[in-house]
């Protein structure tokens, strides 16, 4: 069976309640599909009305009440609230065989008698009926009922993705006088080796910071981007690796060759091997993030998207940089406190689940390097034959 694309819209309520990570965990682990795209939207009236007209299938008397419920929900919740606060909607694009049906089965159905096991809507949504009337309805996510509808919906959202989507920092209102910062998180490639709950689990722990997601991008870092992104790390490693490299080399020479070395010769070995070891370690980091070592990458491929995937998330809120790094934990997972991301998901100082900017200035630099505001939704859909 050929691969197809499906989508899920995480509703404004689910985003406000920080349920994004739990929803993504369910989607990836239970569908077995690949997350290939994502973009945050503040939908315009034009987009909302166009989506309402296509969000449900042909009017069927049996399901007309449910369809009208969905239409009313979209009109009410995808537009600014009564106090003028914009509505944030996160579009996720999934790929794989029979993707739409698999997505539908995991998201679940709206009407209670059609629920099948523990779906996303079982856990995160609500459908409350009293005296035969729906008194509360929150679907948690929206998706398409069939492949043809999924294509139409994706084409619609893609056509509005420049004007209505991207980094939407002004979509969340904060108290005046507070230290409001924007920071960057990368969910690293070790979380995407196969479809699993880890990416969502990482995002779920980040939600403990109480910050708002204002940007989301699935990104394949090029070698050139990785070199620039981790450029400041190179100088640190060149210096840091001198002493351990010199000690190790001296030990090998003395034990394996039986040649005693004085401190001067040991120091010379450190000066010689430290920079070599530091650069080699740095190239391993670049390879981990992009899929290729700089020394082995042909010049014409330096700027091409790499084979490794990460998810870039932009968070905004009060003291965002410190809050995110506190939840993340130190670089070495063995030194991270219980409950932190790196203690829960990290393995080594490199394979440690996520990256977070260490200052607002570096966040701006890093976001510029990976072009976090770039609209890569359109090229993705065009590559799959959709008209945008």
Residue length of the chain: 388
Strands in 221-339 per DSSP E: 310-318
**150-182 confidence digits (pLDDT tens):** 999 999 999 999 999 999 988 888 888 999 999
With a cut of 60, say whether residue 60 has pLDDT above it.
no
pTM for the model: 0.92
Tell me, what's the pLDDT at 109? 82
Tell me, what's the pLDDT at 98? 96
Q: Cα angle at 262 between 256 and 267, to 5 degrees?
A: 95
- Name which of 70, 71, 5, 11 is nearest 41 in CA terms: 11
Binned at pLDDT 50, 70 and 90, residue 250 comes out as confident
Cα–Cα distance between 80 and 93 in angstroms, integer? 24
In Å, what is the CA distance from 346 to each residue of 135, 206, 333, 337, 343? Answer: 44, 14, 5, 12, 6
Tell me, what's the pLDDT at 263? 80
What domains does the chain contain, in order, with CATH numbers? 1-166+375-388 (3.30.70.141), 226-301 (no CATH)
Tell me, what's the pLDDT at 277? 86
In this predicted structure, which of 212-216, 245-249, 368-372 has the lowest mean pLDDT? Answer: 245-249
Number of H helices, E strands in the chain: 17, 10
Average confidence score pLDDT of the chain: 91
- Name which of 190, 192, 198, 156 is nearest 55 in CA terms: 156
**73-122 confidence digits (pLDDT tens):** 999 999 988 777 899 999 999 999 999 999 999 999 876 555 556 899 99
- Name which of 235, 220, 248 is nearest 282 in CA terms: 235
Tell me, what's the pLDDT at 238? 86
Tell me, what's the pLDDT at 242? 80
């Amino acid at each position: 069976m050929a691969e197809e694309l499906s989508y899920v819209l995480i509703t404004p309520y689910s985003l406000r309640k920080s349920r994004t990570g739990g929803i993504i965990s369910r989607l990836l682990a239970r569908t077995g599909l690949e997350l290939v795209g994502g973009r945050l939207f503040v939908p315009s009236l034009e987009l909302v009305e166009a989506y309402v007209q296509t969000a449900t299938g042909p009017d069927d008397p049996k399901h007309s009440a449910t369809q009208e419920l969905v239409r009313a929900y979209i009109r009410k919740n995808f537009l600014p609230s009564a106090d003028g606060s914009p509505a944030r909607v996160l579009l996720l694009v999934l790929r794989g065989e029979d993707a739409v049906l698999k997505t539908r089965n995991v998201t679940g159905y709206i009407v209670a008698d059609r629920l099948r096991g523990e779906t996303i809507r079982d856990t995160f949504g609500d459908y409350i009926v009293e005296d035969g009337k729906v008194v509360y309805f929150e679907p948690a996510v929206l998706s398409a009922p069939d492949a043809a509808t999924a294509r139409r919906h994706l084409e619609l959202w893609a056509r509005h993705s420049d004007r209505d989507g991207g980094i939407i920092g002004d979509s969340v209102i904060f108290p005046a006088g507070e230290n409001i910062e924007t920071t960057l998180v990368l969910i690293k490639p070790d979380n995407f080796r196969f479809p699993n709950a880890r990416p969502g689990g990482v995002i779920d722990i980040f939600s403990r910071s109480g910050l708002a997601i204002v940007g989301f991008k699935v990104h394949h870092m090029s070698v050139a981007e990785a070199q620039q992104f981790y450029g400041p790390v190179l100088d640190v490693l060149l210096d840091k690796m001198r002493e351990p490299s010199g000690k190790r080399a001296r030990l090998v020479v003395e034990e394996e060759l039986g040649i005693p070395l004085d401190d001067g010769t040991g120091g010379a070995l450190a000066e010689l091997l430290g920079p070599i070891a530091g650069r080699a370690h740095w190239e391993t980091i670049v390879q981990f993030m992009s899929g290729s070592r700089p020394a082995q990458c042909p010049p014409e491929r330096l700027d091409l998207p790499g084979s490794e995937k990460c998810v870039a998330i932009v968070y905004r809120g009060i003291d965002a940089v410190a809050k995110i790094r506190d939840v993340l934990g130190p670089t070495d997972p063995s030194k991270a406190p219980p409950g932190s991301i790196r203690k829960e998901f990290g393995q080594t100082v490199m394979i440690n689940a996520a990256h977070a900017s260490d200052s607002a200035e570096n966040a701006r630099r890093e976001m510029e390097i990976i072009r976090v505001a770039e609209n890569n939704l359109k090229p993705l859909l065009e590559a799959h034959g959709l008209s945008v």
